[in-house]
Chains A and B, each alone.
Chain A
Amino acid sequence: MKIEDRLFLNRYRADEEHPHLKIKDMDVCKNCKDKPCINCCPAGVYQWDGEFMEVKFEGCLECGTCRIVCPYNNIEWEYPNGNYGILYKFG
């Protein structure tokens, strides 16, 4: 199953105006060789287009993996505001 199909199963309340994940300095990502956030994120939130790290925070499962794997501590990570973000019906 593709990650898009998996995320489509879930219910989210995205806070479009307040992304809860941010790249602090794009140059740091440019110089990061392995970019572990891309492979380690279970929701495929991070995508590198050669110049820019796209952060699809809307599909975030709020696990915290990217925060731990970024070797340069370059991700500003917080939980979405109260009542926003992932909403599991089974859990």
Chain B
Amino acid sequence: MIEFDVVVIGAGPAGLAAAYKLAKNNIKVAVIEKGEYPGSKNVMGGVLYVDPLRKLISEDIADELIKAKAVERNVIEQNMWFISDDGLVKGGHRNEKWKEKPNAFTVLRAKFDSWFANKAKEAGALILPKTKVEDFIWENNVICGVKTSRPEGDIKCKAVIIAEGVNPLLTMKAGLRKEDLSPKMAAIAVKEIIPMPKEVINNIFGVKESDGATLEIIGSWSQGMMGIAFLYANKNSISLGAGVLIEDLMKNNKITPYEILDNLKNHPIIADLLGDYRKTANEYMAHLIPEGGYYSIPKLYGNNVLVAGDAGMLVNSIHREGSNHAITSGMFAAETLIEAFEKNDFSESFLKRYVTKLENSFVMKDLKKYRNLTSIMEKNHQFFEVYPSLINDSAYRFLTVDGTPKYDIQKEIFDMLRTRRGLLGIAGDALKFWKGVR
């Protein structure tokens, strides 16, 4: 049987960040990945924030990412659109400072994860692809290795980092999570990569050569379900996707996730934007997003074991932050184990300091801050249904010139707000929203 100091399960951002950090500190680490190569099974919307990689690897990482072609475009503008059946209200922000110091890149995971895995390899980690972890090896009720799908594939180790992703199969086997995900704890998102000439992409987003932009869309496409759609600019393609809360999809029980995406594509305004390109695609994918937030987090540590990334439900879906939490939690898990090797103590009580590190960082602080927002949103579908159409109809009325005096138009809008949501309703929603984000 082979032996490693640490076995990391899963070569996603969390697992690779942990492996990189451990290997840099001369700890013998193996990363086990079931895909053909790191990234071959990995999916996300496609926005990667740079800051966690600056902290993990180097301050100059943005230049390196661009040079290595590991990323697509530098995001210099972020937009939020609210659509009704026939209207669109836009909000957004562009900043020149992001050109100088990139904040986020759009990425395609097969490329980015391969690059990240090579980084971990160069640091000294062993990446074992095409291999599935079936179970743990236990000794006196303590994890001391993993059983893999390979013949004679048992690996002994001092500690395991579970970075298996959103489906917490091994986290449950390790006894750190009692119950599986429930339909209100996850969204199902589907995505297509639509190839387009550079000039078309630049026109759609109003950017130049290497600059990128993002677009998030809330509104009528989701048919009242809690959900968000997105359009991200890659080098020679766009990532177009939509996700809805699984509980809402079950209640609806008529429409499939890909039909929801077609809804969005066939919206007259989106159809105009994409033209005939909406009829083609290079790839179609699906992925679960942990939406449960703070309350769905499993126990993140045990004797000889830590949980990082999506497996730990460490996703702030309100700010579409997941991979940065994954990288940061993977780094903290590695730091905790580095300290454990110094003290030769891998006990639960020692490894608990991993959670302290998370609590002292933005990861847990943000998740705690928004702990009630998801449940407020899921109980109040007006945020996805009534408001996008209300603001569109109000804007339409306000901006349409037809000889009506402005005083009367404002009265019409006021009456519309009153009949469709009610003034008390609007005040109540504002309060609920404020309670969720304060």
Contacts and interface: CB of A to CB of B under 8 A. Distances in A.
Interface of A: 1, 3, 6-7, 9-10, 13, 34, 36, 39-44, 61-65, 67-69, 78-83, 85-91
B183 A68 contact: yes
B372 interface: no
Nearest to A87: B40
Contact of A9 (B167, B181, B283): B283
A34 to B, nearest CB: 5
A91 B132 contact: no
A91 B239 CA distance: 10
A42 B257 contact: yes
B13 to A, nearest CB: 12
Nearest to B182: A68
B284 A64 contact: no
B167 A88 contact: no
Contacts of A67: 167, 180
Closest 4 CB pairs of A and B: A91-B109, A83-B130, A42-B286, A91-B110
Interface string B207-250: 00000000000000000000000000000010000000010011
B281 A82 contact: no
A81 to B, nearest CB: 5
A39 B258 contact: no
26 contacts: A1-B258, A1-B279, A3-B256, A3-B258, A6-B192, A9-B284, A10-B283, A10-B284, A13-B36, A40-B249, A40-B250, A42-B190, A43-B286, A44-B258, A62-B41, A64-B288, A68-B183, A78-B169, A79-B34, A83-B36, A85-B41, A88-B283, A91-B39, A91-B40, A91-B283, A91-B285
Interface string B152-187: 000000000000001101000000000011110010
Contacts of A87: 35-36, 40-41
Contacts of A68: 180-183, 186, 246, 288
A88 B41 contact: yes
Contacts of A43: 286
Nearest to A91: B109
Contacts of A80: 34
Given A10-B284, A63-B287, A83-B36, A42 B188 contact: yes
B246 A69 contact: yes
Interface string B30-60: 0000111001111110000000000000000
Contact of B108 (A34, A62, A83, A91): A91
B258 A88 contact: no
B115 to A, nearest CB: 12
A82 B54 CA distance: 32
Given A63-B188, A68-B181, A39 B283 contact: no
Given A6-B192, A9-B283, 19 more contacts: A9-B282, A40-B188, A42-B188, A63-B287, A64-B166, A65-B286, A65-B288, A68-B180, A69-B246, A79-B132, A79-B169, A82-B131, A83-B129, A87-B41, A88-B40, A88-B43, A90-B237, A91-B44, A91-B109
B77 interface: no
Nearest to A86: B41
Given A69-B183, A91-B113, A34 B287 contact: no
Nearest to B42: A91
B118 to A, nearest CB: 16
A40 B247 CA distance: 10
Specify which of B182, B257, B281, B284 lies most central, judged by the most chain A CB atoms within 10 Å of its CB.
B284
A50 to B, nearest CB: 18
A90 B167 contact: no
Contacts of B254: 39
B241 to A, nearest CB: 11
Contacts of B284: 6-7, 9-10
Nearest to B166: A64
Contacts of A82: 34, 129-132, 148-150
A81 B166 CA distance: 18
A40 B243 CA distance: 12
